[in-house]
Structures are given as structure tokens and as C-alpha cells.
């Protein structure tokens, strides 16, 4: 078991086996000691911390990875990677996008080798600010330009943004475009009251990124924000919480939700209907970079290679349903096939410097404040504020 001794770092360890009570006592003692010695200004990591011992003892190396991918999903990647590297122990911190970003900026991790996140703009900012190491391999060099940045940041999934409805809703209550959903709310606002859910863009890095691209793509964006406010929409920082609300029936629809998680829940039997919008489809890639603090960048690079390998992409696509960046066995990138799969225009969120514009402090604050004003304090639905729904 790893003892957490760094004064800047506090995490919750997920132990296994019959020694759990003893482990819990030791973890509590370590936590109390760390609290006693922690500087007042230190950053605190509160993400779920899980240790994966090496398959073969003794372990020759340890790889520390952090990111917002749910532990039960990421674990499947860990298990298959360790089959290829059986003497490598892995520690994973399941931590929110914004907290992860702040922790890296504040050097709150004692050791960190690999950073994996769904918030592409925050990843790019960290890379641009010097928190990543350069890495190249035949697989990374083979990536298309839109899926990598300066041999430091690498995309490895391709995931759609979707609408999610409770399965038992009648078909007419499951609009297949954003504009049709807006019209449905306008037509019967009482039906949707307290029954919509979406990301809290002030607390979710991914939610903010999607909102920015939604606003760039659709003339209906602010109208939808106004409409969601009129329904007293429920706001959540994670995809899982949104899906939980829809599955329970506490919400009828999840707006602009991460499709990979929704499809995985649906495949497990959850009462969800996942709708890939027919007006336009946003896609994004999870990205990975090797932390500047990593003392073993080649091992971290080996994990990136695993993610991009045929085996890794097969696991990503077929087992954990995140959506592979490489779908064909001949390693073709699916840039053109995406346009053939969907009738709607495809809008990929590419890894490029323009993402940094969304992080301008003044611009970001104004955007979030305007969004909150509509979403959390809309006394009445006023379609005159934003015109007719766009029916693209």
C-alpha cells in the first residue's frame, strides 16, 4: 500500500482485500499527519486514488496517472497495459478537470507521469505553459495534425456529444435536433419544468469547452440557455451525475452530454435513449501528455503508445465504449468516414491554438456570467430575445 506523505497531497485510497479495516486505520493516521503538517496555502487533491500493484513482483517501475476518466472505465486500460508490462505498478487519480488543471499549475502532485483529460483546452494551456515533455514514436508521428500538438499533446479517442432521453418518454418527446428540443420547450414549458439537465459550465472544464463550441456553431445557443433557464434546469459538474438524473426519471433529457458514457450506460441496460443530434455533431478527443515532473517519460510514452496501438484502440472502442480514434485494422484515421456515418455536419474540436482564446480570463468570465444569468435566473421564456429556432 502506498502511504500518502507529501504535505501538499491528500487523496482517498481505494483498498481491496480482507485487510481493508487495517488499511483504513493507517490511511486515517496518514491523513491526520498530513493535515497537521500541511501549509495553509497548499492545494488539496480530493480525487479518488487507486493503486494497481504490478502483476509480477517485485515491481520495477511505478507509473502515476491523473485524469477525470471514471476509475471503473480507466481500470480496464490499466489491466490490459499491465499485461504487456507486468512489472509496472500504476497509481491512478480520478480527479475533475478543473481541479486537475489547478493542481498541476500549483505543483500539488509529489509525482506525476501522465495527464489524461477530456478538457482539451485546459490540456493545451498546460502544455503551452511548459508542463509537458516532448515525446515521439511511430504511432504519435502518425497522428493527423488535428489530433496532436507539437509532439507533446496526443488525442486518442473520438467521442460524440449527444442528447440523452429517458427511454419511457413517447417518441414525440424525444426531439432529434437541438432546435427541435428548443421548440418543444417553447411549446410546452410546463412539461419540461425541472426535467432538463446539463453541465454546470462554471464547474466542468468539458462543459465549458462544449458550450464555447456550441455557441460558435449554433445561432440558437443563447436561446437554448434561456429555454433551459425557464425549465429550472439541473446543473451538474460530471456526465455521470447527468446520466443518473435521466436514468432515475428525475430528468427527462440530458443536454449536450458525453456520448461515450451515455452509450456505455445504455449498453449496460440503463433506460436511456441516446440521440446523436441531426443538426450538427460535436466530436472531441481525450488527450494525454507526459508531465514535466515525470522521472520516467519513456514509460509514460509506452502507455501513450498502448492507447494508440491497435490493441488499445480496440479496447477503447469495443470494451469501454469511449470511441476509437483509429477504427480500421489498417490504421486509417476516420476523418472522412465520420462524414459518411452522419447526415448532420460534423464539428470536431481539434487540438489547435484557437482553443486558448476560450481561456482568456475576461472573455471566459463574461461568457460564464451571461450563461448563468440565463440558465439560473430566467423568469419567463422570451423568444423575442433570440429569434426563431435554427432548423439546420
Name every residue whose Cβ is closer than 8 Å to that of residue 363 and which is 6 or more positions away in sequence: 357
Tell me which CATH code domain 159-284+360-385 carries.
Answer: 3.40.190.10
Number of residues in the chain? 392
C-alpha cell at 241: 451525475
- Distances in Å between the Cα of 175 and the Cα atoms of 169, 182, 278 are 11, 9, 10
**Would you say residue 18 has pLDDT above 60?**
no
pTM score, two decimals? 0.73
Determine the pLDDT at residue 351: 84
What SS3 state is found at 182?
helix
pLDDT digits (tens, 9 = 90+) for 295-306: 999 999 999 999
Burial (Cβ within 10 Å: 0-12, 13-18, ≥19) of residue 179: buried
Residue 184 — pLDDT band, cuts 50, 70, 90? very high
Please spell the DSSP secondary structure of 144-165, one letter per residue.
-GGGEETTTEEE-B-EEEEEEE
- Within the chain, which residue ranges are assigned CATH 3.40.190.10? 12-158+285-337, 159-284+360-385
For residues 368 and 180, give the distance between their C-alpha atoms in angstroms, rounded to a whole number.
25
Is residue 257 scored above 70 in pLDDT?
Answer: yes
Kindly report the CATH class assigned to 12-158+285-337.
alpha beta
Q: What's the pLDDT band for 11 if we cut at 50, 70, 90?
A: very low
Q: What is the largest CA-CA distance in the chain?
A: 68
DSSP reduced 3-state for 13: strand
- Whole-angstrom distance, CA of residue 368 vs CA of residue 208: 8
Amino acid at each position: 500500500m502506498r502511504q500518502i506523505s507529501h504535505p501538499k497531497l491528500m487523496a482517498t485510497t481505494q483498498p481491496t482485500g480482507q485487510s481493508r479495516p487495517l488499511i483504513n486505520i493507517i490511511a486515517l493516521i496518514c491523513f491526520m499527519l498530513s493535515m497537521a503538517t500541511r501549509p495553509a496555502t497548499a492545494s488539496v487533491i480530493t480525487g479518488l486514488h487507486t493503486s494497481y500493484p504490478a502483476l509480477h513482483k517485485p515491481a520495477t517501475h511505478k507509473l502515476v496517472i491523473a485524469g477525470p476518466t471514471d476509475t471503473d472505465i480507466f481500470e480496464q486500460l490499466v489491466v490490459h497495459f499491465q499485461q504487456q508490462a507486468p512489472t509496472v505498478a500504476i497509481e491512478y487519480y480520478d480527479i475533475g478537470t478543473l481541479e486537475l488543471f489547478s493542481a498541476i499549475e500549483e505543483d500539488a502532485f509529489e509525482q506525476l507521469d501522465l495527464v489524461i483529460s477530456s478538457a482539451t483546452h485546459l490540456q493545451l494551456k498546460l502544455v503551452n505553459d511548459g508542463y509537458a515533455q516532448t515525446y515521439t514514436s511511430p504511432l504519435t508521428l502518425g497522428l493527423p495534425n488535428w489530433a496532436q500538438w507539437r509532439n507533446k499533446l496526443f488525442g486518442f479517442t473520438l467521442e460524440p456529444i449527444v442528447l440523452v432521453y429517458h427511454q419511457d418518454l413517447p417518441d414525440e418527446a424525444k426531439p432529434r435536433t437541438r432546435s427541435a428540443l428548443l421548440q418543444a420547450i417553447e411549446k410546452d414549458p410546463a412539461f419540461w419544468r425541472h426535467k432538463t439537465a446539463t453541465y454546470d459550465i462554471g464547474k466542468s472544464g468539458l462543459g465549458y469547452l462544449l458550450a464555447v463550441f456550441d455557441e460558435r456553431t449554433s445561432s440558437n445557443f443563447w436561446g437554448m440557455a434561456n429555454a433551459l433557464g425557464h425549465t429550472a434546469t439541473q446543473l451538474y459538474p460530471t456526465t455521470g451525475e447527468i446520466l443518473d438524473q435521466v436514468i432515475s426519471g428525475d430528468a427527462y433529457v440530458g443536454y449536450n452530454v458525453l456520448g461515450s458514457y451515455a452509450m456505455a450506460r445504455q449498453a449496460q441496460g440503463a433506460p436511456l435513449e441516446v440521440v446523436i443530434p441531426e443538426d450538427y455533431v460535436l466530436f472531441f478527443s481525450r488527450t494525454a501528455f507526459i508531465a514535466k515532473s515525470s522521472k520516467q517519460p519513456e514509460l509514460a510514452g509506452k502507455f501513450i503508445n498502448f492507447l494508440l496501438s491497435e490493441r488499445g484502440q480496440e479496447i477503447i472502442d469495443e470494451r469501454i465504449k469511449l470511441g476509437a480514434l483509429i477504427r480500421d485494422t489498417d490504421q486509417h484515421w476516420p476523418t472522412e468516414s465520420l462524414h459518411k456515418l452522419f447526415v448532420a455536419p460534423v464539428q470536431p474540436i481539434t487540438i489547435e491554438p484557437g482553443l486558448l482564446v476560450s481561456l482568456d480570463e475576461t472573455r471566459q468570465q463574461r461568457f460564464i456570467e451571461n450563461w448563468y444569468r440565463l440558465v439560473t435566473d430566467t423568469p419567463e421564456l422570451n423568444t423575442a430575445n433570440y429569434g426563431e429556432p435554427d432548423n439546420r
